[in-house]
Each structure stands twice: as C-alpha cells, then as structure tokens.
C-alpha cells in the first residue's frame, strides 16, 4: 500500500489508503481551524501548571498533590488517544474532529463546575480523552492539505495553535484564575472549544476515512519496532521537560525570587519559545528526521542541566532558561509526529494519535517524578536535574533507533541482491 512517505514531492500528499489528495480552496483557513483547537487544548493543558497553588488552596490539598491533577489530564490523553483514534478510523475525519472537540468542550465545562479534589480529577481525566486523537487525526488532515515535502510544516502549523496558547491563552487564563478563581480558565476553554467546532465545520474540507483502515490494520503499527522507538523517545525525552515545567510557578517564585504576579509573563515567555520552536521544526527536519531528533534531544539534556543554576543566578537568566524550555521540545514534536507517520505504514491514524499519548505519559511521568523529589524535601532545582537524566535516556533511544534502522536496511538490501551463478 502506498503511503504519504512514497508520494512525490511535487504532488499533493496522499491520505493513507490511496485516497485522492485534498486540495481545499483555503488551505490556510483549514489549518487555522485546526490550530484553534490546538489553542484550546494547549490552554487547558498548561494553565493548571500555572495555577497549582490556587488549585491546591481551592480544593484543600498540597501543591505536590495538586500536581496529580496535571497527571489526571495526561492519563486521559494516554487512554483516549489510541482508543478514540482506533474506534474513529472508519469515520470521516472532519466528522471525527467535530465530535472530539464537542466532547472536549463538555469536559472542560465539567472541570469548571468541580468543587472537590475527586470531581476535579475525574473532570480533568475526561478533558484529556479527546486530546491525542484530535492532534493525531488533525495532523493527518493537515498533512493531506499540502505537497508531501511540506508535511512537517503543515503539522507544525497545526501545533502552532498549542504553542500560541502559551503566549496568549495560558497567561491570560492564569491571570483570570488568580483574580476570579481557578475554575474560570476551564470555562473559557470550553467556549474556545465551541468556536473550534464552528471553525472546523466551516473551513475544513470533507476528508473521507481511510477506506482500507480496520482495527487490525491500525494495530499493525504496533508490530513495527521503529514505531516503539519513536514512542519511547517521546515518553522518556519529554518526561524531562514536564518534570521541570509542571512546577514552573513555584520554581520561579521559590527559586527565582519572582512574585506571583510575574507568573503569567513567564508563561508567555515559555509560549514564545514554543512558537519559535514550532517554526524551526521544518528547517531542522531537513538534516534528516532522526538526525534532527538526536541533536535536539541532546541539546535539551544540556539545557536541563543548566536550568536550575540559571534560575538561581539571575532573573534575566531565568527568563532565558524558560524561553529555551519552550523552544527546544517544540522543535521536536512535529519531527516525532512525522517520523511516526512515516514508520507506521497502514496504522497511521493510531500512530499519529499515540505520539500525543506518549507525550502525556511523559507529562504524567515528569509531574510524578517532580512530586517525588519535592515531597522528599529537595529543592525546586531538582526536577530539572531529574529531567536531564531522562533527556539523556531519550538520546540513547534515538541512537538505538538509528542503529536498528541501518541494520534492517542492510539486511533488506542483502536479501534483495540477486544471487550470482
């Protein structure tokens, strides 16, 4: 079966299953509609991290325990991404996107109404369910709108919605939560999700389902070692970033000496870094996806080693460190997404969704490891140290993926070589 990987660079990319390429009259409006959904998702995912003290006070728990609210959302993504992407593989992709974002709006409304720790945990879990499937299916739709050689760019434009959320959505809703109550940001996200439903309905063209997609064909991706390597890179490597960012608000106030009023601005700096990283992903990918992944992951490890000392040394260095914390991982996300689409073959919908599932396993892993070192009485410089170790492990997994890939290519070449008489 021909995949998007095999399509010539001069033609529009192919939707998996040999479907005709989608050429909407307004490609940029379609990408904008998808990005609005990313904006809503990015806002709800990251605003909790900026409001941990307020959430903790609001439901009567400690800050380390409030970190479990972050993990609950991440757990929803982990569960929802493979389940919803697989169950929805026979549904037209536009229709699936509408259902996913509609459910997302309802779940965030429930988060706003939660009045106890248990109810909030449940609502955040439900809010996370559509996250991975939306980004996975949306990435396939975005890639189908452009020529094959621009797939990483199209995916990064969709993900830009998530990064812009950290410039505008997260700081604004963090201030909203600080002033009027932590529930209001979730209510605002619910409204943005409804706007997304309207934008997708109006601007995204009809995208038929993959005619050859079945539960068996989607699950076939899980038999491919390179798929597991790519997922492991995201899980382990991004765990380091989330170990640091999950506690960014108390880290900046306790370690960096910032006042709570500066937190929205610091989150905006993080968002600027994320947006710049998403823009750089396409150019960086030109050196080769796996080569670029290794280089960026190694740089993340170095940055995390320096993060704590930089925050302690001076406020301007703390701001630079936060910018780099947003920049480097955001370069990596579209490259990992494209890598999964390339190595999954018939199981592209599931693999694309699993990218965000594994990133949120990293989210939960990072928040959990951070809570362990903080509960042990260690300082706020320790989560980034744990993160650096995880990033180094991510480099090792990426290198192992490359070695296995080269051995497989040599074996296949030898098997294809004609035997001389």
Domain boundaries, the chain: 26-410
At residue 105, the pLDDT reads 97
Report helix angle 63-87 to 52-59, nearest 10: 100
At residue 71, the pLDDT reads 80
CB 173 within 8 A of CB 188: yes
For residue 209, the number of C-alpha atoms closer than 13 Å in the C-beta half-sphere is: 17
- Terminus-to-terminus CA distance in the chain, angstroms? 33
At residue 25, the pLDDT reads 52
Highest CATH level, class, for 26-410: mainly alpha
Tokens of 307: 């993060």
Q: If we measure between CA atoms, which residue out of 285, 344, 282 comes closest to residue 157?
A: 282
Q: If we measure between CA atoms, which residue out of 281, 300, 303, 301 comes closest to residue 292?
A: 281
- Phi/psi of residue 12, nearest 5 degrees: -65, 145
At residue 63, the pLDDT reads 76
Question: Quick one: DSSP state of residue 145?
Answer: T
Q: Give 411: exposed, middle or buried? Use CB within 10 Å, 0-12, 13-18, 19+.
A: exposed
Per-residue pLDDT of the chain (421 residues; tens, 9 = 90+): 333 333 333 333 343 433 344 454 578 888 899 999 999 998 998 888 778 888 888 888 887 778 788 888 888 988 888 888 778 877 888 899 999 999 999 999 999 998 889 999 999 999 999 998 898 888 888 877 877 777 777 777 887 888 788 788 888 998 899 889 889 999 999 999 999 999 999 888 877 665 555 556 666 667 788 888 888 888 887 888 888 888 888 889 988 889 888 888 888 898 889 888 888 887 888 888 888 888 998 999 999 999 999 999 899 999 999 999 999 988 888 888 778 877 877 666 677 677 777 877 887 788 788 888 888 888 888 888 888 999 899 899 989 988 888 887 777 777 766 655 4
């Amino acid at each position: 079966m021909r995949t998007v990987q095999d399509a010539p660079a001069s033609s529009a990319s192919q939707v998996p299953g040999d479907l005709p390429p989608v050429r909407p009259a307004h490609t940029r409006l379609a990408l904008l509609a998808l990005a609005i959904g990313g904006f809503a998702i990015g806002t709800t995912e990251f605003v909790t991290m900026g409001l941990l003290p307020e959430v903790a006070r609001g439901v009567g728990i400690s800050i380390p325990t409030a970190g479990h609210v972050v993990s609950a959302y991440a757990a929803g993504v982990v569960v929802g991404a493979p389940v919803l992407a697989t169950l929805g593989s026979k549904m037209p992709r536009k229709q699936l996107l509408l259902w996913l974002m509609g459910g997302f709006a309802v779940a965030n409304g429930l988060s706003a109404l939660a009045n106890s720790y248990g109810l909030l945990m449940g609502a955040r879990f439900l809010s996370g369910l559509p996250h991975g499937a939306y980004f996975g299916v949306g990435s396939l739709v975005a890639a189908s709108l452009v020529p094959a050689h621009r797939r990483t760019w199209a995916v990064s434009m969709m993900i830009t919605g998530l990064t812009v959320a950290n410039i505008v959505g997260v700081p604004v809703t963090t201030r909203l939560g600080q002033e009027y109550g932590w529930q209001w940001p979730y209510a605002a996200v619910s409204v943005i999700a409804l706007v997304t439903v309207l934008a997708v309905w109006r601007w995204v063209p009809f995208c038929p389902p993959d005619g050859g997609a079945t539960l068996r064909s989607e699950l076939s991706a899980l038999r491919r070692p390179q798929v597991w390597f790519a997922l492991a890179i995201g899980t382990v490597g991004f765990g380091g970033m989330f170990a640091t960012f999950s506690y960014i608000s108390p880290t900046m106030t306790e370690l960096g000496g910032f006042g709570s009023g500066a937190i929205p601005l610091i989150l905006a700096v993080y968002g600027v870094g994320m947006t710049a990283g998403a823009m750089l992903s396409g150019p960086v990918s030109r050196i080769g996806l796996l080569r670029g992944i290794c280089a960026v992951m190694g740089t993340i490890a170095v940055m995390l080693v320096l993060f704590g000392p930089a925050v302690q040394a001076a406020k301007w260095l703390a701001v630079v460190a936060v910018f780099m914390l947003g920049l480097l991982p955001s370069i990596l996300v579209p490259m990992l997404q494209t890598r999964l689409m390339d190595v999954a073959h018939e199981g592209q919908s599931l693999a694309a969704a699993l990218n965000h599932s594994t990133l949120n396993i990293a989210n939960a892993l990072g928040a959990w490891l951070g809570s362990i070192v903080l509960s042990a009485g260690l300082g706020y410089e320790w989560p980034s140290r744990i993160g650096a170790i995880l990033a180094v492990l991510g480099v090792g997994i990426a290198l192992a993926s490359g070695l296995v890939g080269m051995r497989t290519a040599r074996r296949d070449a030898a098997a294809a070589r004609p035997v001389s008489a």
